[in-house]
A and B are shown apart, each in its own frame.
Chain A
Amino acid sequence: MPSTYASSGNEELVDILEERRRSGDLSHALRTFSPQPYKEMTPCSASDLSKKTLESQYLKYIFKEIASESSLSMEEVKEDARLLLEEMSQNLQLGFIRLMGYTMTKVFKRLYTNIYVNMEGLNMLQQAIQENPVILMPTHRSYIDFLIVSYVLFTYDIPVPVIAAGLPLAGMKLVGEILRRSGAFFIRRSIGSDKLYWAVLSEYVKTIVRTGFAPLEFFVEGLRSRTLKSVPPKLGMMHMVLEPYFKGEVFDITLVPISISYDRVLEESLLAHELLGIPKPKETTTGLFKATKVLQEDYGCMHVNFGRPLSVRDLCQGKINRGQYNLTPRDLPQMPSTDVQACVNWLAHHIVRIQEEGSCISPWSLMACVLIQCPISTLIERGMTWSKLKDRTLWLKKLALQFGARLHWPEHMSDQDVLLSMVALHHSIAAYKGDRVFSAEEDVNRTAAVVLMLASYRNQSLHVFLRPALLATSIQLTKSTQRGRSLKLLAFFCFLKEILSNEFIFVPGKSSQDFEEACLSLKECGAVHVSSDEVTVTEAGLEVLSFLFALLQPFIQSYQVMLDFLAEHKTDISEKQLHFSGRSFAMKRILSGELQTYEALSSETQKNVLSALRALDGKMPPSCSTGLLMQSSSLGWHKSMYSISLQPYLPQPDPVYSLLSSW
């Protein structure tokens, strides 16, 4: 693979491992590091930061509140806060960055053939860091994400960030401390209603932003995506980092979405097993060493794409009335107003969408899209013929490019070699034997794991096809392509979006844009004709539409299974039990051949169905909280009807879709 290449968007990508392979690792670790910091940074040490936090007016208010609600004295509350802060705070030291740099060079060279970074993004970041406090917002697909950004920034002489990390990491012997000194600060997983914890954390984060101590890095998705799809953003941290702008404590904040894409993810099988209900191993140092086995494998390329720096000031223009803080002390603990909540939510989703668009899609992901549409039994028994796989993948490549995907398709190799190398890279999932490609195994549990892995790789490119696929599904389900039906189509499109809103990322309030975008994409690839009030499928479009329709089928089917399960299961059960029984329910259907997709077994899908139902439930009138009905024509709820299906057919020309739950 070349050390630099131009991406499909004609951006220069540089392989940062190239130089590491040519020159000494130690000299890299010991390189001169004198980055240009934020111009208004108030120089302070990590301990000053904690001190500032602890002495803030905001925490004073909080201590007082807590002391008056509990039997504790102000001093005791403050002491508690100090301990929390001790547990939380980072202790960024250059020496440890160098140590990490050294170790990571060793590890990366072993794991990856190339690590590509877009230089333009990096240059813009370097500029942006001097101007305003910067928030780095990478995707989170692997533990590797955790330090790669620091590694790249260190290499290019840009200030290294402090990073929000999960507390379990801090518990690792030695490693926890190394991470802390590499800039990690640790956050408990479930903060819940611990008021003091929230307050200390948010003041700590806000102090970092206000002082411009260092760029702040956090994963807006909150946790590693187990499915390699984007996860709906968590808003707590987002609120904390943005508030200093809303309150005028900084002139602007720069958000930098970063998309980290992997040809092959280190934890692939771990993730699949987690989805099947096998809990992830606790993060321990010994565990880490045991995992060194995975370091023997090849994981292909990694892409770190630094997105264009975004000005929060520009993004929030007209969305936030900053004057709302004029009449109370800004330090006073207060619930964010509705406009702030809406804006933060919107912004977080917006960022995740940009991360998606910035991610780099590997040929393997397209192959996974194709493979997973093949019946599982075929994949196990007869395999898919190579030529079919190759043809379909190349066809899909064209479609993906038409839809504006950023592909990493090595130019210097023949397509045949590219695809073969991909199968070789993913030998844990697929095998090439006698001109056929096999996947999955006889053992049903093993099969499930492999299918979920395959599904995850498909998910890497799903965002490219998602909107057209929703439209294709809507067209298929409503048969609504005739004149005057565009509105109905839109309504169904929105309905699907709403149901799947936990599954995929949709920017709130952008339904009609999403719809337009879908129409435009399909129109541009010649699959449909669009006029003011109708969408007509062209002859040539059938192939595209049926592919897109099939792409979403596993989701539609999985949701249907969960709904059926919930409809049958009327008694109250705990969420944990529900995952377990839901999974056996789905498994039975798979074994009986009623259900085609193993994805219904995924705990992630189950969770998403529940969340979707909860969200829908909240929107219903209380009187019909036991049954939901959705009428696609009006999207209104009807009390009288309780049956429902999401079947891929339509009984009537003006159909009624309803969605039932026993919830």
Chain B
Amino acid sequence: MNEMSVNAAHFPCSPLTRPSPSRHKHGSSMAANSSGGSDRQRAAQQRLKIIAGHLQRPSDHQLDITATECKAQESKTNAQSSEERTVPRRRQDVMKWNGWGYSDSKFLFNKKGQAEFTGKRYRLSGMIIPGLKDWMEETFGATIQHKTLATPMLNNTAVQPPNINDAFMEEIKSTDIPFSIEAEDRVFRAHGHCLHEIFALREGKIGRVPDMVVWPSCHSEVVKIVELACKHNICLIPYGGGTSVSSALECPPEETRSIVSLDTSQMNRILWIDEKNLTAHVEAGIVGQDLERLLNESGYCTGHEPDSMEFSSLGGWVATRASGMKKNIYGNIEDLVVHVRMVTPRGVIEKSCQGPRMSTGPDVHHFIMGSEGTLGVVTEVTLKIRPMPEYQKYGSVVFPNFEQGVACLREVAKQRCAPASIRLMDNEQFKFGHALKPQVSSIFTSFLDGLKKFYITKFKGFDPNRLCVATLLFEGDREKVLQHEKQVYDIAAKFGGLAAGEDNGQRGYMLTFVIAYLRDLGMDYYVIGESFETSVPWDRVLDICRNVKARIIRECKEKGVQFSPLSTCRVTQTYDAGACVYFYFAFNYRGLSDPVHVYEQVEHAAREEILANGGSLSHHHGVGKLRKEWMRETISDVGLGMLKSVKDYVDPNNIFGNRNLL
């Protein structure tokens, strides 16, 4: 299994992450853009940029450029040239080496002191966000004057020289599989996006990193690499999207063997689409946005949209039991997977047929899903696909308070009429969302906003410090969507909810995704933060939200944090028997000597609080190394023993030695 591309869900989302903004225009027909010119253009631009990058800074490692023809059973018609894909081998050419996302996209305060979002990729790109500065100052006590900048460039001398297993390297060379021992490549694959990981990078501190990166381009190359790793006793760490938020990609410091990062990004083809059974067979290194775009071109989608889908990979989803925001229609990854191929030190594991359900003992897929790279590398996956929906519509509902909002979500779940996505933000997040409103160009819009505000707070008597918002996304054929919409709004009305428009809904989903970029902005101004999630039975949702938020505030106080923290949550998924809850937590660390340690203590306390309140260790981020200590109490001694015995059988020499999970 590979990569830990957890849906770093704090970072989300969807509408804007997608290079084709038109698709999510509310109310617009989805079919309109399937092969939109903008996609092509963007892809072409990107290709140019990458090539330019190569020209400017030629790699000093020759092998780096070697491309191998891979003889997979791919149908020529679906073949795509790899340059069209989002993720190049030299990721640092397009993506930040010490922050979230694309290098060209970031928040900053311009000369006038206004916040703006740079680049051209997103809907918010190039826009001024007038409310953000005040919000940051009010929420965190941060000021524009107090700035702390990241180390701009990686200092190669800070990186330990690679510990090369010469025999292994010789054999890899002879296979023609591209590899690199360059510091930049190795550092890029030594971390996920936990706060402490990014914080250390910004300070230029580099810990144990992989000694070599390899880029197999198909299943058989992975088989070869794993064989060689076994032969030479190499520690292999699969790497997919790199969006892990569980310390899953951290190299165990105690590892003395040579560590090789197996980057799956070049295994990114859709090998076939089966229109009769509505399945697609896909290489596991493909990232979410490419998978959806390519399927869209054929009129299909998986509908799997974790908040990290721009960067997280199919293999990572499988390895961490990912969840997508539209799971109400399409299901989570375990519902989507029909067949998996994984290369392990014992050999390849896969099922013999594609029957939709089997009674053949415990489902071996469930050893694979959630194994977090400890058993092998997922190379190919057969997924369910669906025809693209005809119609999409956003929506939002304002509730007088969070309690009413939760009661409404519970009722929606009870009636099993949840829209593709339904999320409930608490009051703090509502305010945050508000602060992220881009500058309004028309007087009419701002007048309308004022009117809406007046109606809700004065006429309806909602307390602006208590009200909260649910965002909705409906999908399907037009008539059904409208019908469905009515049903949901009727339920909401019973809980005091007022429909608050499509725009608010859409902005809510945007918030999910920009928050990841915002963390980098925060870090420029002494604010650090992170998100974490859990799943919990319905009757405990309110209690867990209140208690965890309060615990965070109390812990910050006790740990000497000088400013009051942002401690907020939202309910992001509904199930029959419970919900997924997301917490965001950030604080201004001025005055603290070891802010990351304080941060970790608070997060630890918050997780204890979650567990004490009947919440799970994780809904979809996974365990990694960050939450390992709670595994025994979570799944019992016997449960842990079961997992260990599988590991012992499949990988007795701990070749897949990332030490996650167990």
Contacts and interface: CB of A to CB of B under 8 A. Distances in A.
A283 interface: no
Contacts of B550: 251-252
B133 to A, nearest CB: 28
B614 A251 contact: no
Interface stretch (A217-225, A290-298, A324-332): A324-332
A248 interface: yes
B612 A322 contact: yes
Identify the 8 closest CB pairs spanning chains A and B, nearest first.
Answer: A322-B612, A251-B550, A326-B614, A248-B613, A248-B543, A251-B547, A323-B612, A249-B543
Given A251-B551, A325-B614, 5 more contacts: A248-B540, A251-B546, A321-B612, A322-B613, A323-B612
A182 B543 CA distance: 31
Nearest to B633: A323
A252 B612 CA distance: 13
Contacts of A329: 539
Contacts of B403: 42
B611 interface: yes
B650 to A, nearest CB: 31
A55 interface: no
Contacts of A251: 546-547, 550-551
A251 B547 CA distance: 5
Given A251-B551, A329-B539, A330-B539, A40 B546 contact: yes
A286 B403 CA distance: 49
A248 B614 contact: yes
A313 to B, nearest CB: 8
Contacts of A252: 550
16 contacts: A40-B546, A248-B540, A248-B612, A248-B613, A248-B614, A249-B543, A251-B546, A251-B547, A251-B550, A251-B551, A323-B611, A323-B612, A323-B614, A325-B614, A329-B539, A330-B539
Nearest to B553: A251
A329 B578 CA distance: 13
Contacts of B544: 248
Interface in A579-597: none
B222 to A, nearest CB: 40
Contacts of B540: 248, 330
A222 to B, nearest CB: 30
A520 to B, nearest CB: 30
Contacts of B613: 248, 322
A100 B129 CA distance: 57
Interface string A359-398: 0000000000000000000000000000000000000000
Contact of B547 (A248, A321, A330): A248
Interface string B611-629: 1111000000000000000
A510 B129 CA distance: 61
A251 B551 CA distance: 8
B559 to A, nearest CB: 15
Contacts of B614: 248, 323, 325-326
B581 to A, nearest CB: 13
Interface string A307-329: 00000000000000111011001
Interface of A: 40, 42, 248-249, 251-252, 321-323, 325-326, 329-330
A361 to B, nearest CB: 35
A326 B612 CA distance: 8
A393 to B, nearest CB: 46
Contacts of A323: 611-612, 614, 633
Interface string B241-282: 000000000000000000000000000000000000000000
A435 B83 CA distance: 111
A401 B612 CA distance: 44
Nearest to B616: A326
Contacts of B551: 251
Nearest to B612: A322
B180 to A, nearest CB: 46
Interface string B517-557: 00000000000000000000001100110110011000000
A322 B548 CA distance: 14
A326 B544 CA distance: 12
Interface string B155-178: 000000000000000000000000
A199 to B, nearest CB: 19
A627 B543 CA distance: 53
- Chain A CB within 10 A, most for which of B543, B611, B633: B543
Nearest to A323: B612
B91 to A, nearest CB: 41
Contacts of A42: 403
Contacts of A248: 540, 543-544, 547, 612-614
A330 B612 CA distance: 13
Contacts of B547: 248, 251
A208 to B, nearest CB: 17
Contacts of A325: 614
A330 B611 CA distance: 15
A253 B530 CA distance: 28
Contacts of A40: 546
Contacts of B546: 40, 251
B49 to A, nearest CB: 51
Contacts of B539: 329-330
Nearest to B615: A326
Contacts of B543: 248-249
A325 B540 CA distance: 11
Nearest to A42: B403
Interface string B597-621: 0000000000000011110000000
Nearest to A313: B554
A41 to B, nearest CB: 12
A252 B609 CA distance: 12
A466 B550 CA distance: 41
Nearest to B551: A251
A249 B544 CA distance: 9
Interface string B319-350: 00000000000000000000000000000000
A251 B550 CA distance: 7
A42 B404 CA distance: 12
A329 B539 CA distance: 9
Nearest to A40: B546
Nearest to B550: A251
B630 to A, nearest CB: 11
A251 B545 CA distance: 10
Contacts of B633: 323
Contacts of B611: 323
A245 to B, nearest CB: 10
Nearest to B544: A248
A322 B614 CA distance: 9
Interface string B441-457: 00000000000000000
A329 B544 CA distance: 15
Nearest to A57: B539
A327 B639 CA distance: 17
A317 to B, nearest CB: 11
Nearest to A246: B612
Interface string B400-415: 0001000000000000
Contacts of A322: 612-613
A321 B544 CA distance: 16
A434 B403 CA distance: 74
A36 to B, nearest CB: 15
A75 B543 CA distance: 31
A466 B252 CA distance: 58
B565 to A, nearest CB: 15
A205 to B, nearest CB: 18
B537 to A, nearest CB: 9
B263 to A, nearest CB: 40
Nearest to B403: A42
Contacts of A321: 612
A292 B544 CA distance: 53
**Quick one: which of A40, A248, A252 has the most chain B CB within 10 A?**
A248
A363 B210 CA distance: 77
A333 to B, nearest CB: 16
A216 to B, nearest CB: 19
